[in-house]
Structure 1
Amino acid sequence: MSPMVTGGAAAGDGEDGGLVGRASERRRLDELLAAADQGRGGALVIRGAAGVGKTALLEYCCARADGMRVLRAKGVPFEAELPFSALYELARPLLESLDELPTQQADALRATFAIGGAGPVNRLAAYVATLSLLATVAERAPVLCLVDDAHWIDHASAEALLFTARRLLADRVAIVFAARDASSFDAPGLPELPLSGLTSDSGLRLAMRSGLGRRAAAELVAATAGNPLALIELPAILTEAQRQGRAPLEHPLPVADRIERAFLAEARNLPEATRQALTICAVSEASALALLDQALKVEGLDLGVLDPAVDAGLIGVRGQEVTFRHPLVRAALHSAVGPGQRRSAHLAIAAVLTGADEMDRRAWHLAAAATGPDEEAAALLAETAERAQRRGGVVAEARAYERAARLTPDPERRASRLYGAVRAWTNAGSGVHAMALADELLALTQRGDLRCQIKALQVHLAQQHGGTDTVDETYLAEAEAYARTDPVSAGKMMSAAVNQCWPRLDVAGMLSVCTRAMELISGTAGTAGASDTAHASDTAHAWDITQAAHASAATWPKGPIRLAAAQVLAGLPGGAALARDCVTACGNRADGSAAELAEVLCWLEDYDTARSLLEREIGEARAANDVFLLAYALTRLAGLEYRTGRLHAAYRAATEAVLIAEQVGLPAQRANALAMLALVEALLGEEAQALARVDSCRLLMPPGFRDIEARIRYAHGMSAVVAARWTDAVTDLEWIRSAQLRGGITEPGWLPVTGNLAEAYAHLSRPDQAADLVRQLDAGTGRITTRAAVARVQGLIAAERGLDDAFATALAACDPAVLPLERARTLLCYGQRLRRAKRRRDARRQLHAALPLFEAIGAQGWARRCRAEINATGRQTPSRDDHATGQLTVQERQIALHAAEGLTNRQIATRIFLSPKTVEYHLGNIYRKLNLRSRPELIRYLSRPAPSELD
């Protein structure tokens, strides 16, 4: 009989931690533990094949963790469907510390672990709470988290622990994962320790301790590539002649297969009742003796039949728990039995899982036992999916709904459950799989309302994952067909088509589908075909549709908001009024309607109303931990902030949006957030950072998304404007202007391109082209930003004798309280013209008025140009030391701006997904780099009001 070992560990020979060899690996683990003890947290993934000694290294860590609080979790294949099960195992000893967390985080973990708290919980909330819990406990003593068989832990736990591991910096926390070389545990961003077999010398010592002669030991080491578990287990199935080296080993020698055969060889010598009991143990994900005792009794057995397996060393009993010698023992026993025995074991376990907190396990065991459609198992799995949704286990929810659908006998009920799976996989970021299930669902049901919903969801999914060709004539015709029986669902399906028009910058298409959607929902035009929407241009009919949209706003604002957006972009009358009419309807919603409407109001320069909508929706999204909505709304808040000259606030919002979008993982959303951050960094004068974001955004941007391409080019073009690289600016801005014209966008507020382009032509001494653009703008909507840009360019191209009058008009057009950046830019241009007219004193007056405005806003690129102009007048203006934020890293700047907003370390940590200790660490660096001593100084430094031009 082979000796019992832990997780395939090599037996000890007096070396540290009972390990044979592994000197470099032990050294690396020692460094990780020492760093955590000294307040420098970190993580490591030990990765290698089965039996190579990963668990032995975890045991080494445990033995070396003097003074550390050790937390452990172990992946089990049968718990992979149970959300946060591994995380609960790890965190269970810490639950008494939940009250030390912010209330929202504590409630998130309670709901996640189904021990209280209010749901539903977004998974990101659970991830942040996990980081906070470990960091909080680590303030009392260093924490070591050991996660064995990480490739088998449930998806939600894996994401939570990886999220935490990537953010350890100033916390006394070390996390060590042990995983096989499998894609099921991908850990990007974490350092890895690849583990191969033992060296020849170490392997030889270990094999000889298992009773092999030197020659046989050397041959086995070579044949198994030094796999420790193989060196311990395989000698038991070799012949005496092979053990002594008198007969050769069989070649090739598949290690895992041979090890499993060794385990099964031991099991075959056991009594039949013991093998039956071992099957129940192998099939069960639970190891509690009490539960196994009940399950065995269902089969007419008792715990005593397991004694021969304990004597054989296949299983062990620790306290009240049954453990297998190695996961391969469990896997071998599970795979060796026939389907009938396996089914019987699942049913036996399901029969004793009757507690309220055991329903999820019961459901999965019944599902595993099902041999065909089974409504009982399907219904239980559907309930499991609902519980997973409340706990934030979105992948578990999706899997449960999908498996429930497979087991559901009734086609329509199957379709409903499959729709639940599609929605859950969508929320999990698995859009490709969701789209495949959506196709399956459409082939399954003819229910018009469900088909409309799934079709609309397909359009949304396609847009999020880079597709722009989902909507075609067939799609529109199908919506028309459903309108005969369910016009409201058909109208919503039609409205969803706008998601395909946006990427193409197709305003005519937007108008068509939005108008037709409102016709269907309101009944304004009966069931006319989509092709009949050409008559929407008729004034009377357009008035009817707009009125119908006003009436529909209260019950479903998204449709009217989309129509308003299309009308505003196309320069049609009524769009602005319709947009403002939707404001009240968005008041009690947190579904993206308010953020979508706020963007339209920003084009219309109704900034106060847009801010009110966004702040409310962002607050609702934070309260509900809705990260999808939060990323969407924060991107639009950043757009509002930069338009009103609040560049630091725009940076805060944009960086948070990017951070969340990276977790969400949807390409289009990430690209939009990155493009916004690139623009804000360009306006801040951080050209290198902005251009790097542009490059990253291009890698993410799905092909054919002209709207994202326009935003990327706008960021790139504005970076050139700030740096006075006028030729480069013209290239990008002309591309956007052409795209706008081709798409039918006449609204200058969508991307304020034309004014910047006209200014670029003016600086390039191309006054005719600048004047032509100014005439086009002057004939436009009369927006205050447009008026300011027009007046500034007119000043730039004015004759010298009319210079002062032109710029007086330009300055009057930009109120510093409303458009501080526009005013500062106008003062800079005025000073430039005056200097070139050799009126240096007058030039300095304007430039000295512009400089503090730029600096207060944070527009350091323009401030540098302003200083250069002042220097060119003969007066030196040194760079101001108290605006050295360029020395800060992206994360440091983000923290500094949040601190200036008045947030505490804990609030900042929650906002940007770090621990309070890490925030404190970064603040120390910030104070040192900016030569500040305290938080009040930092707040004064970054939060000063814009100085008067007369200062």
Structure 2
Amino acid sequence: MLDRDVERGVLDRMLAEVREGRSGALLLVGEPGAGKTALLDWRVSAAPGVRIARVTGVESEGELPYSALHQLCGRMLGHLDRLPAPQADALAITFGLRDGPAPDLLLVSLAVLTLLAEVAAERPLVAIVDDAQWLDTASARVLGVVARRLQSESVLILFAARERPRELRGVAELPVPGLPEHEARELLRSVITWPLDAHVREAVLAEARGIPLALLELPVGLSPVCLAGGFRLPGALPLTGRIEESFRRRIDALPADTRLLLLIAAADPSGNAALLWRAAGLLGLGAGTSDAAHDAGLVTIGVTVTFRHTLVRSAVYRAASPADRRRAHAALAEATDASADPDRRAWHRAEAAAGPDEAVAAELEASAERARSRGGLAAAAAFLERAAELTADPAARADRSVSAARAKYQAGDREAASALLALAASGPPDELRAARIGLLAGQMAFASPHSGDGPGLLLDTAGRLERHDTVLARDTYLDALTAAVYAGRFATTAGLPQVAAAARAAPPAAGPSRPADRLLDGLSRLYTDGYAAGVPLVREAVSAFRTAELSVEEALRWLYVACHSAHDIWDDDGWLALSSRYVRTARETGALSLLPIALSARIGMHLHAGEFAEAAALAEEIATITAATGDTLPAYGALALSGWQGRTAEVSRLAPVVLDVVAARGEGMGLTLVQHTLAVLHNGLGRFGEALAAAEVATASPHETGFTNWALAELVEAAVRTGDRNRAEQALERLAATTGPSGTEWSLGVEARSRALVAGDAAAEDLHREAIDRLGRSRGAVAQARAVLVYGEWLSRQDRVDQARATLRDAHDRFAAIGAGAFARRALTALTFVGGEVLPRAAPSRATLTEQELTIARRAREGRSNPEIGAELFLSARTVEWHLRKVYTKLGIRGRRELRSADLAPHLPESG
């Protein structure tokens, strides 16, 4: 091993850390032949005291779901019974060991993390993932998530790739460049042992650029005479192509039968030697056929088939004619057990097809369904796309293209999905197919940076579907309504009024009315005829969602819309019930990709109830999940929490980031939420001019419902405080149009507080008292504290000093207990003005818990086990235990039993 001192030092340090109980992940990046594999073999494979697990990505296997993950974890499945049941089920289904609904990819990731941790509990584990750029998409995503969540499991994952795969973003990177000049010369001398003209030597070194494999392989097969004559490689080829060409020269020199055997091996990435020989026998190739390839150092065939380098495999495959490739795949398909490995057989049959073949296309469709059931969306998309290519009938080809497009979109390949939709649209006219195309195009637009186009596309599709499928049409209208609320001011072809009017005219539900049907009827009425007409229907829908038996699909699809509808009509009881059910469903079903959205809805309810510590814990959980997955969900919950806490620095950091994402995604509702948060912050700080400006933006579009209503209350207060009574009265009129018909204690309490701010002194006191009383009967602890504050400020202006002191002290204590820092300071300022005071809060303990430690401690106090906490926070049980030991030390206790009664307050992080 020449040079590589830096790289070996990094690996040595990481190996030492994994032996000490820590974990980590590293991505080695370098050109083909740079020595990544050799470096891992040299430093890691012989490392004492660790267990090695290894997998190598293969280009042609990139469409088989979880194939690489199965290779890596297959020998560890004896530990499956140590995993929590949902995780064990997820892996068993993923690897085809049992049937069941396709598990969420993040649940599979958590299961793999736990499995690796269980294996490492016996001996530190080093997992080597070579040629990571060719991993199948599902395996790459899982391993990327796992790598980002490692903490204290004694697990080290080492990736090697030509360039960083997008699934591995966030994993630390170690470049593996070419060798320095001195070491490159030394290596070249070991290959070319005869005298070499200095000019020629410099040319070879320049071409190889220090890449070890190039220095070793480029001269092979070229005679001393050729080299002495002024050897120069073709400059038009990239280095990878030149190395591959050097292998190809050696392949061309082999007998025809040997080349065919190598082609069969190259066409089957499983490395199964028994399968290779069965296929070879079908083509009349005997055991001695491999001798020449062995002698040439290109391949080793034992229990498994191992090529000298991945470029040998690609050189073999590229050098073969299309006819020979089809022969090889046909032999492999015939040699593959149709019952044991139907998907690989179908893929080989597809590669063997010279033209359209309906039987093969049908097999691929069946493989796609199996892949989808295991969560392999990328594989399902590949199978369906190839099935469409092999379909002769234009109509069937178009239908299969739509199915392939949906799978591509679900797998995250939006560009390929768009291309397949365009292909489907070019098929024979068919109204139902056109509706399916429009539905997918609308959903893609809704979830893209062009979400403003989504409502119009979905609306058009819903109209097309009315003649074919009433249920699907009504669901699509509800999708369109949701998209219109999300897009708000950014809607392009159809805004909320147009969508709501069309949805209002949709065909009635056939048969018993589902909760989704009731919600569609209620929202379309609310958005066309106003709150007085729509609230009763929406309230019935919210009640139906609270009590009905929902399928998992219904719950995951509609509960967020139902949650939003509940707080849109000021129903905080419904909001609490539905947000709780949404989070519970996402957790229980393992729908971790939807969990951040569910948690965001629950955070809003916690903030309303003054449960800021609980909101902070969920915000931390969202950050944990999004960091693990690389998701771009805006940090709405963290921003709203910071605004209510009065943390100006944190709001200043988060707000621009969230606004950039919101603008890029075209989400008007998100813009309103950000501006509402800024209005809250500035009203709390007493910066009423800035609060007014933010509230004006937040209320500019009435079509971003819910958050707009809340912002109207902020606008009333800010306008009153800045002396703009006319603007305050206009905002109050808009607010009352929603609060009055809603008729809840929450809505009427907020309306009374707002009216008290606008009213004259004669009417104000009764309104203040009404607001405090009504909000006390709601779940709005923060809203009630604000009502107490504005009443205390009013008493101060009336020179009722004693009452003002008591009321303002009450307001201050409420805000301080909740953690609403800006409003607490505003109350303290008003209290000081009337000669009151409060006792200073005790300085926090030096042994402050981190947000993650606090989150884990609270869950442990509630009786959750380490695996349960790990599942919720996307950590291994061993990492949870590691954090708990730190918590015990900081609290000065000995374990869980003492934790139940420990006082966490002195140890809360600053944000708590």
TM-score normalised to the size of structure 1? 0.85
- Superposition map of 1:432-831 within 5 A: 432-468=415-451, 470=453, 483=466, 492-505=475-488, 509-510=495-496, 512-517=498-503, 519-522=505-508, 554-569=512-527, 571-582=530-541, 583-584=543-544, 586-590=548-552, 591=554, 592-657=557-622, 660=625, 670-671=633-634, 674-701=635-662, 702=664, 704-740=666-702, 743=703, 751-766=709-724, 769-770=727-728, 773-774=731-732, 777=735, 780-781=740-741, 782-793=743-754, 807-815=768-776, 818-831=779-792
The answer to whether the 8 Å contact 1:134/1:173 transfers is: yes
Does the alignment pair 1:422 with 2:405? Answer: yes
Change (3 A) 1:663 1:715: farther
Letter in 1 for 2:687: R
Change (3 A) 1:610 1:473: closer
The range that moved more, 489-498 or 144-153, is 489-498
Q: Which SS does the other structure have where 1:45 is aligned?
A: strand
Cross-structure match for 1:8: none
Given the alignment, which residue of 244, 254, 257 partners 2:241? 257
Identical-pair percentage = 32
Does the alignment pair 1:363 with 2:322? Answer: no
Letter in 2 for 1:737: T
The alpha-carbon deviation at position 704 of structure 1 amounts to 4.3
Change (3 A) 1:883 1:650: farther
Q: Distance in 2 between the 1:484 and 1:568 partners?
A: 26
Q: Which SS does the other structure have where 1:903 is aligned?
A: coil
Q: Distance in 1 between the 2:183 and 2:249 partners?
A: 27
The alpha-carbon deviation at position 242 of structure 1 amounts to 6.1
Does the alignment pair 1:203 with 2:184? Answer: yes
Change (3 A) 1:101 1:230: same
The answer to whether the 8 Å contact 1:650/1:680 transfers is: yes
Deviations 1:691-745 (CA, angstroms, capped at 9, x unpaired) = 43322222222364322211221122222233332221111111222222xx4x7
The answer to whether the 8 Å contact 2:607/2:641 transfers is: yes
The range that moved more, 570-579 or 58-67, is 570-579
Q: Distance in 1 between the 2:706 and 2:67 partners?
A: 53
The alpha-carbon deviation at position 294 of structure 1 amounts to 0.5
The alpha-carbon deviation at position 798 of structure 1 amounts to 6.8
Q: Distance in 1 between the 2:712 and 2:107 partners?
A: 42
The range that moved more, 451-460 or 206-215, is 206-215
Q: Distance in 2 between the 1:353 and 1:47 partners?
A: 35
The alpha-carbon deviation at position 57 of structure 1 amounts to 1.1
Q: Distance in 1 between the 2:706 and 2:224 partners?
A: 88
Cross-structure match for 2:278: 294
Q: Distance in 2 between the 1:351 and 1:765 partners?
A: 85
The answer to whether the 8 Å contact 1:514/1:563 transfers is: no
Cross-structure match for 1:235: 219
Cross-structure match for 1:94: 76
Letter in 2 for 1:730: L
Deviations 1:177-219 (CA, angstroms, capped at 9, x unpaired) = 11013x6555321111111111122112222122334746555
Q: Distance in 2 between the 1:473 and 1:52 partners?
A: 52
Change (3 A) 1:556 1:180: same
The alpha-carbon deviation at position 871 of structure 1 amounts to 5.4
Change (3 A) 1:290 1:125: same
Aligned length: 886
Letter in 2 for 1:204: R
The alpha-carbon deviation at position 440 of structure 1 amounts to 2.6
The alpha-carbon deviation at position 228 of structure 1 amounts to 0.8
Cross-structure match for 1:533: none
Q: Distance in 1 between the 2:242 and 2:455 partners?
A: 57
Deviations 1:477-516 (CA, angstroms, capped at 9, x unpaired) = 7765664566665555555433553244379954554454
Cross-structure match for 2:392: 409
Q: Which SS does the other structure have where 2:507 is aligned?
A: helix
The range that moved more, 294-303 or 805-814, is 805-814
Cross-structure match for 2:908: none
Change (3 A) 1:727 1:357: farther
Cross-structure match for 1:379: 362
The answer to whether the 8 Å contact 1:68/1:142 transfers is: yes
The answer to whether the 8 Å contact 1:503/1:708 transfers is: yes
Deviations 1:570-614 (CA, angstroms, capped at 9, x unpaired) = 524442232243343653233222332232122333333443334
Cross-structure match for 2:878: 917
Cross-structure match for 2:909: none
Q: Distance in 2 between the 1:382 and 1:467 partners?
A: 31
Change (3 A) 1:304 1:657: same
RMSD: 3.4
Cross-structure match for 2:329: 346
Q: Distance in 2 between the 1:651 and 1:753 partners?
A: 22
Cross-structure match for 1:275: 259
The alpha-carbon deviation at position 654 of structure 1 amounts to 4.7
Cross-structure match for 1:313: 297
The alpha-carbon deviation at position 286 of structure 1 amounts to 2.6
The alpha-carbon deviation at position 345 of structure 1 amounts to 0.3
The range that moved more, 457-466 or 646-655, is 646-655
Letter in 1 for 2:185: L
The range that moved more, 147-156 or 796-805, is 796-805
Q: Which SS does the other structure have where 1:811 is aligned?
A: helix
Q: Distance in 2 between the 1:205 and 1:330 partners?
A: 28
Does the alignment pair 1:47 with 2:33? Answer: no
The alpha-carbon deviation at position 45 of structure 1 amounts to 0.8
Q: Distance in 1 between the 2:203 and 2:788 partners?
A: 84
Q: Distance in 2 between the 1:679 and 1:637 partners?
A: 12
Q: Which SS does the other structure have where 1:377 is aligned?
A: helix
The answer to whether the 8 Å contact 1:652/1:898 transfers is: no
Stretches of structure 1 that go unaligned for 5 or more consecutive residues are 1-18, 523-550, 945-951
Stretches of structure 2 that go unaligned for 5 or more consecutive residues are 906-912
Q: Distance in 2 between the 1:758 and 1:884 partners?
A: 42
Q: Distance in 2 between the 1:844 and 1:936 partners?
A: 43
Q: Distance in 2 between the 1:888 and 1:566 partners?
A: 48
The answer to whether the 8 Å contact 1:459/1:500 transfers is: no
The answer to whether the 8 Å contact 2:645/2:820 transfers is: yes
The alpha-carbon deviation at position 666 of structure 1 amounts to 7.3
Cross-structure match for 2:867: 906
Given the alignment, which residue of 97, 105, 113 partners 2:95? 113
The alpha-carbon deviation at position 853 of structure 1 amounts to 2.9
The answer to whether the 8 Å contact 2:57/2:135 transfers is: yes
Q: Distance in 2 between the 1:564 and 1:939 partners?
A: 46
